Structure formats: C-alpha cells, structure tokens
Chain A
Amino acid sequence: MNCLLLAAAPFAPVDQDYLFEARQMQALSFAVHIPIVCFGIAFPAFVLLLEGLWLRTGDPLYRTIAKRWSKVMLALFAVGVVTGTILSFELGLLWPNFMATFGEVFGLGFTLEAFSFFLEAIFIAIYVYGWDRLSPRGHFLSGIPVVVAGFMGSLMVITVNAWMNNPSGFTFEGGRVSDVRPIDALFGNDYLWHELVHMYVAGFIVAGFLTAAVYAFGWLRGRRGRYERVALVVPLTIAALAAPVQIVVGDWAARSVAREQPTKLAAFEGLYETEAGAPVHLGGWYDGDEIRYGIPLPRLLSLLSFHDPSARVEGLEEAPTDERPPVNVVRIAFQTMVGIGFVLAGISAFYVFVWLRRKRLPRSTWFYRAVVAAGPLSVVALIAGWVTTEVGRQPWVVYGQMRTEEAVTGASGVPVGYASLVLVYAGLLSAIVWILRRLARAPVEIQPGPSGVAPLAAGAARPDAEDPR
C-alpha cells in the first residue's frame, strides 16, 4: 500500500451532470429486483410446506400445487439472478468512487452473499428437476437449503445496507479508509438486525399476499375448487401471521432509527424543531419548517420513538441545511408504508378471527376483494419502506461519511443508459406477466405421486418443457 498519495487523486469527486439520473437508475433497478427477492425468500417455504403436507397426508393435491409452484419459483429465480446481476454491475458503473473507497470495508458481505446465491441456484435446480427423480424424502430435504440460502442471502446483503446507514469498523481520513475491521463493520452493527428481520418478514408478506391475490381474484371469478382453495389458504395464512408481526418489528426499527439516525427520524415526521412530547401528523405537507394540513396526534412521535410520551425528539433544525434528506419524499413514503402495514394487519386479523371462530374461510366477497388489493398494496409498502430508508439516508451514500455526489461516476452517457434500462425493464416485466399467465393457464392435472401411473396429458406438457424427459 505504498501508493496512498498517488492513488488518492484518481477517485476525487467529479462533476456529473446527471447525478439524479444515476440515482434514479439505481433506484429503478432496485425496485424491480426487490419484489422478486421476496419470492426468493418466501416462495420456497410455501412450496416446502405444501410438500410437507403431501408427505404427511399422501393427498396428491398438495404435491400438484407444490410442483406447479416450484416451476414459478424457478422462473422467478432466473429473473432474480439477472436483476441482481444488474445491481452488482451498477455499483461499479454508477458509483466507482464509493466502491474504490469503501469496497474493502463492506465487500465481504457481498462475497459471502455470492455463496448463498450459489447454494440457492444449485439446490433450486436439484429441487425443481428432482421431482419424480429423487426419493420423496430426499426431494423434500433438497428444498431446505433453498430456504436457508434465502435467509443467508438476505442477511449478507442487509449487512451492507445496514452498514451504509450506520457505518463503523474503519477510520476515514482525507478520502481514504484505514484500520478496516470488516467483521465488525458488517456484523458488529446494531442496525443489521432490525433491517434484516423487517425485510425478511416483508418477504413473506409480499410473496404471501401477491400469491393469495391471484387465487382470490380467481375466487371472485368463480374458480373455487379445492385446488384454488388450498393455493389461497397457504400463502394467505403465512402472510396473515407475518403482517401483525411486522408492526412490532417496525416499531423496533423506528426506535433504532431514533437512536442512530435522528435526522432520518425527524424526516419521517417532518419535525423541524426539537421538542419533548413530539406529535405525529397524519397526511399533510412539509413546507420547510412545519407540517401544513396534517392531522396532529399529540405526543405520538415521542411515544413511538422512545416508548415515552414526553421524550425529547431531535428535529431537522439540528442538522445543517445541506445534510437534510428530501423531507416530503421520506415522510410520504413512511406514512404509506405504515398505513398499508396496518391495512394488511387488519385483513389478516379478520381472516384469522373468522377461522378461529367459525372454522371456515370468510364468505364475504369484500374480503376476497381486499385480498386482491392486498397483493399490489404490499409491493407498494415494500418499495415505500425502501424509499424511506434509502432516501432518508440522503444526502449521504455512507451516512455521515461520503455524500452521494462524491460517489458518482465521471463517465458520460448516464441518461442513455437510463433510457435503455427503462426499455429493457419494460420488456422484462411484460415477459414476467406473460409467462406467469401462461403457466397459470396450463390445465391442472392431479398426479397421484411418484408410484402412481399418471403420465401428463399432452395439453399439460408445456410447463414441463424444460424438464429433461
């Protein structure tokens, strides 16, 4: 490392006319990737639960659903592989100074993530191609590493995001890091755990409600057979249990933000002046030093942030003007996330209550309409949550250490890249919708399991086309 002085200059901040476009490009790639990640986290668990039910009961219906869903799982994983690859390329393409300066501090998280990615790819292939070819128990077991790898992958990626929000494990002077302690930086971070659990639970909520929404829609259209009922119940039940849990986890996350990133917390509410017993305003607009037209709920911010109704909450005034995030974006995103979270928990509570009291599914069509809406709403909440934490981190890329404009590339042509990316993603999304509709339209064939003689009907062969025969 005798080139310290020589190399300090090459990664000095540059003039980039299109910083905003670069940020939008990264945000767009992320917004496309993250809902697919939810399926990577949760879908293998849904499929395994169904296969486990089949092993328990011998009822071929469960196996049929598990097998069909595992094909969707593989297709979505393939899409996740490529949308994730884009994100990793963009770190270098758009933010070279960030990578050059801090790569050695947080890079280990991604190195470990690559391994969980590998394991997920390997076992998802064994699982999906192993239907009818491995013993039932061996097949079930081959799915477990997929679930574990989904968790490990989230853990490793979140270590990096948590570090960006609450950086530690290094000394930063004159644009160079020294005394780097990568393990401390990634795993010795208080911030890691609430972000991880919040995202992991969100994975189950999003994948659960989106999948349930598909079958609830079918229910409203009159498709109410046993297949559809089981396919609705499994994801909906899991999401319904995860949704109330998420409220408690979110409360934990907010307390951590209040402690470590007071400016971000102030932006959640649009609190300008530091005060004890701070209120929350529902709705309204932040116009520079106060909330206009919001409905005030006295002392609620203090209560939520510190579990003490008269606690002192730092306002935006504590941070210099150029170190405050764009308040309205963060605030609206935060309120959207929280609002949707409560709606989802309400739907969940109703569902669980009806089942516990009446031992049956709700009959009201309004319930099924609500579940249909809950699918897209959960995605909105997911993205709003990430906007809250990532825009709330601005203007920093590494909180308090490196500003986003210091990280950006000096290459020209960012708008061209942005435009082509938008086009490619439009193609990608229409392709996903198209393939999912196709897979769903294939007729359902209940197979009695490996020992039974049930060759697929010719019409049902298409979704099996990638199977080696």
Chain B
Amino acid sequence: MTLAEAPLVLMLVGLAAYAVLGGADFGAAFWQLGARGERGAQLREHAYRAMGPVWEANHVWLVFVLVICWTAYPEAFASIFSTLTVPLFVAVLGIVLRGTAYAVHAGTAREIERRAVDGVFSISSILTPFALGTAVGAIASGRVPVGNARGDLVTSWLNPTSLAVGVLAVATGTYLAAVYLAGDGARAGRGDLAVAFRRRALGAGVSTGAIALFALVIVRLDGGRVGERLLEWPALAAVAVSAVAGLVTLERVRRSRFESARYYSSAAVASIVVGWALAQRPELLPNLTVDEAAAGRPTMIATVVGIAVGAAILVPSLALLFGLVLRGRFDAADAEEEPTHEQRRSGERFRTWALALGAGVIGFGLTLVFDGGLGLAVGVVALLGFVAFGAVALVGEIAKADVAGTTEQPP
C-alpha cells in the first residue's frame, strides 16, 4: 500500500461500515413497510427501538467517506458528483426525508399520522440505498469520465450494472436488518419477534444470495474491466468469502445463533465492497489511476495522520456505544444510587461571581484594545469564561431564589 492508496483504504473501511451499519438501518425500515395491525405495530416499534441509539452514528460513515474523497482525491470526487448529479441528489433528498421522518416518528399519536410518517420513512429508506447503489454501479462500470459533468447525465446511472448494484444495495440492507433484528429480539427476551425476524432473515438471505449471483452475471456482461476482474484473483477471493459468509449466516440463523450470525452477515456484505475495490484497482475512474488522482504529499500525510488521531478517539467511543447497545444496557433501567448532593457553600458561590466578574473585565478590555497576538487571545478566552462563569453563578442564584419561593406554586 502506497501513501496514495492509504486514504482510499480508509474510505473503503468507511464505505464497508456504511454498507453494513447504514444498510441495516435502511433495511429495518424496509421491514416496517406493510407491517399492519397490532403485530405490525410491534414489528415497527422493534425496528425503531433497535435503530434508536446508533442511527446517527451509522449515518456519519457516509459523510466520512465523502470528506476523505474530496480531500485526498478531489478530481475524482468532483467528476463523480458532477456526472452522477441525478442519483446522488435523489439519495440526499431521500436521506433528508428519512431523517425527518425518523425525528418526528416519536411524536406521532394517531394511526393516520403514524402511517404517513412510517410510509415516508420506508420509501425513502429504499430509495436512498438504491440511488447510492446506482452511483456505485456507474463508477464500477467506468461510466464516469474525469471532468466537470463530462459523463452522460442519464445513462451513466441508468444502465444494467447500476440497476443491478442498486437492487443489491437494497437487498443486502434488508437481509442484514432481519438478522440483526432477530438477534435484538432474542436479546430483549422477545421470542416472538426473534421468530418473526428469523423467518425473514432466512427468506432475505436466500433471495439476497440469488440477487448477488444475478448481479454478478450482469456486471460480468456489462461492467467492462471491473466485470472481468471480479472473477479473477484477487477479487474472486473476496467474492468467495462473501458467498461462504452468506451461507454460514444462513446456517447460524437456522439454528437461531443470532449473535454470531450478526458478524457473518456483516462480513458477507463488507466483502462485496472489498471485492469491488480489488477488481477496480488501480484505476479510480477511466484513465485516472489512484496515484494520478491523489492530492499532493502534504495533504495525503495530513489526512492519514488526522484520521489516525481521530480514530484513536473514535474507536473507543464507538466501542462504548455498541457495547452498551449490544449488552442490552439501553434495554432496561437498572437500579442506581442516589446522587450525592453537595450544598454549595457561600464561599464557593462568591468565587464563581468573582471569576465571572474578573473574566468580564479582562475580556471586554483586552478584546477592545488588542488587534492580535496574545493580548487578544487572552481577551477572547476571558470573554467566553465570562459567559460560562456568569451563567453558572447567575442561574444558580436565580434558581436558589426561586426555591426560596417568591412567586407562584409549582404546577
């Protein structure tokens, strides 16, 4: 791996994570589609609940991929976005509708509202991965030339490979979601939901496998260079891994071993991304190799270092979140100790006031006088300190006066 390829590898990690985690979110919404009646309501609630804590984080992966792309391979990014304007715009509108529906679903009270919001949510959850899949198909089949909107606005993404990848993107999501939701159901002690999603996982697993095989044939016939190389070493190895992992998942799900099925199904989907990358290497776009597309050396180094530092914070945080979710810490309330309340001594309160006042005098003074340098920096920090200390002091005082009871009674 060269320096020119390092950010690309990180992008692919992000893309695989998005295909798996984001895909499962999209897929969960698919299962809500057409779920009716009392039982349907349970399925819907289960899907929302499973998505809840991880929804936002799962979707940041897409932004992560984009920002690396435009930093490290700016011309490739610009070519892709200007030629694939239609599917990418549709995808982003889908993302907005989906996010909005998700944000408001908790507020729905009447059946008709719930139906409308769930409908928007499900449809946008199908549209978005499909549109993103067509864009991937366009890149894979070499239909995005280098330049500002140089490719065909329509046929670049409306072609056999794009459609096949689009359908595959939707299918993998529904398959992952069914496996995950079966596992979440079992963990939450909801055997009925586990059984319901086990059945769906088996069905979706078989059909996604069939769709993947079909897509492979289409890409082989229509996909040009990538189509040929997908069935050669080394891409073939990734394809084989995907197929085996898919079969193992089916076996695990059949035996209701959902926790390990979770990881096998993820591997099956992530391997597809790896296979694509290996088949496409070393060209990012036609006549643009990764080396040629790469930004200058200082940018590449800064990007890789920046991501490494970021990852040092991100990975433990993600582990914390997924650990809490997968261990079921968010499922049921635990008993806990009473918080220890320290009554503030008046000396301490006085100190906060003094700090606020001092920071205010220094802040207003220095910021007005200095045009730059240390004096200004101290002034600005002091101004922010003034707001922070002042807020703590003043709010504390007002709240205290309030408890002392001067006006109305609590409701």
Interface residues, chain A, CB within 8 Å of chain B?
Answer: 1-3, 7, 9-12, 14, 49, 53-59, 61-62, 71, 75-79, 81-86, 88-89, 91-93, 96-97, 99-105, 107-108, 110-115, 117-119, 121-126, 129-130, 132-137, 145, 177-178, 180-183, 190, 193, 197, 200-201, 204, 224-227, 229-230, 233-234, 237-238, 241-242, 245, 248-249, 251-252, 255, 259, 307, 352, 355, 359-361, 409-413, 417, 420-421, 424, 427-428, 431-432, 434-435, 438-439, 444, 446, 449-451, 462-463, 465-469
Q: How many whole Å from B255's CB to the nearest CB in chain A?
A: 26
Size of the chain B interface, CB-CB below 8 angstroms: 123
CA distance A71 to B399 in the complex (A): 23
A122 to B59, alpha carbons, bound, how many Å?
A: 11
The answer to whether A117 touches B364, judged by C-beta atoms less than 8 angstroms apart, is no
Subset of 10 A-B contacts with CB under 8 Å:
A2-B292, A57-B399, A100-B78, A104-B299, A121-B60, A125-B57, A134-B336, A145-B317, A242-B387, A409-B85
**Inter-subunit contact B408/A108 (CB<8 Å):** no
- Rounded to whole Å, the gap between the CB of B5 and the closest CB of chain A is 15
Inter-chain CA distance A229–B404, complex, in Å, is 14
CA gap between A9 and B75 in the complex, in Å: 12
Among candidates A75, A122, A183, A229, residue contacting B57 with C-beta atoms closer than 8 Å: A122
Contact of B299 among A92, A180, A467 (CB under 8 A): A180
B95 touches A99 (CB 8 A): no
- Interface hits, B50-86 → A, CB 8 Å: 52-57, 59-60, 62-64, 66-68, 70-72, 74-75, 77-83, 85-86
Q: Which of B103, B148, B342 contacts A435 (CB 8 A)?
A: B103
A468 CB contact (under 8 Å) in B52, B147, B410 = B52
CB <8 Å contact, B339 and A58: yes
Q: Contact at B93–A118, with CB atoms within 8 Å?
A: no
B148 with A410: CB separation less than 8 A? yes
A133 pairs with B391, CB closer than 8 A: no
Task: List 16 additional contacts besides A85-B95, A93-B82; criterion CB under 8 Å.
Answer: A11-B148, A58-B341, A62-B399, A85-B63, A85-B92, A89-B91, A93-B85, A114-B64, A117-B63, A118-B57, A410-B82, A420-B93, A434-B104, A449-B339, A462-B109, A466-B48
Task: Encode B367-411 as 1/0 by CB contact (under 8 A) with A.
Answer: 110011000110010011011001110111011011100111111
Find the residue from A100, A130, A225, A463 having the highest chain B CB count within 10 A: A100
**A122 and B317 contact, Cβ closer than 8 Å, known pairs A58-B341, A107-B299, A238-B391:** yes
**In the complex, A76→B108 CA distance in Å?**
16
Interface string of B228-250 (1 = CB under 8 A from A): 00000000000000000000000
A182 and B299 within 8 A (CB): yes
Identify whether the interface residues of B are mostly helix, strand, loop, or mixed.
helix
Q: In the complex, are the beta carbons of B103 and A78 less than 8 A apart? A: yes
Nearest 7 CB-CB pairings of A with B:
A107-B71, A92-B81, A103-B74, A10-B147, A82-B99, A104-B295, A115-B310
Query: A2-B292, A118-B60, A135-B337 given as contacts; is B410 within 8 A of A226 (CB)?
Result: yes
Q: Does B344 make an interface contact (CB < 8 A)?
A: yes
The CB with the most chain B CB atoms within 10 A, among A88, A89, A110, A201, is that of: A89
CA distance A79 to B403 in the complex (A): 36
Which of B109, B288, B376, B384 sits near A3, CB closer than 8 Å?
A: B288
Q: Say which residue of B60, B100, B148 sits within 8 Å of A14 (CB atoms).
A: B148
Q: Which of B292, B333, B363 is within 8 Å of A245, CB to CB?
A: B363
On chain A, the residues within 8 Å of B98 by CB distance are: 82
Query: How far is B85's CA from A420's CA once the two chains are assembled, in angstroms?
Result: 14
Query: Is B196 at the interface (CB under 8 A from chain A)?
Result: no
Q: Are B367 and A81 in contact (CB under 8 A)?
A: no
Which residues on B sit within 8 Å (CB–CB) of A249?
A: 367, 380, 383
Contact (Cβ within 8 A) B313 A469: no
CA A178 – CA B299 in complex, angstroms? 11
Query: Does B354 sit within 8 A of A, measured CB to CB?
Result: no
Inter-chain CA distance A468–B54, complex, in Å, is 12
A424 and B70 CA atoms in complex are apart in Å by: 26
B49, B376, B399 — which one has the most chain A CB atoms within 10 A of its CB? B399
Beyond A193-B380, A248-B383, whether A100 also contacts B53 by CB under 8 A is no
The answer to whether B53 and A125 touch across the interface, beta carbons within 8 angstroms, is yes
Residues of A contacting B402 in the complex (Cβ-Cβ under 8 angstroms): 226, 229-230, 233
Q: Are B96 and A88 within 8 A (Cβ)? A: no
Q: Is the CB of A123 within 8 A of B299?
A: no
Complex: A223 Cα to B54 Cα, angstroms: 36
B residues less than 8 Å from A248 (CB atoms): 363-364, 367-368, 383
Taking CB atoms, residues of chain A closer than 8 Å to B1 are none
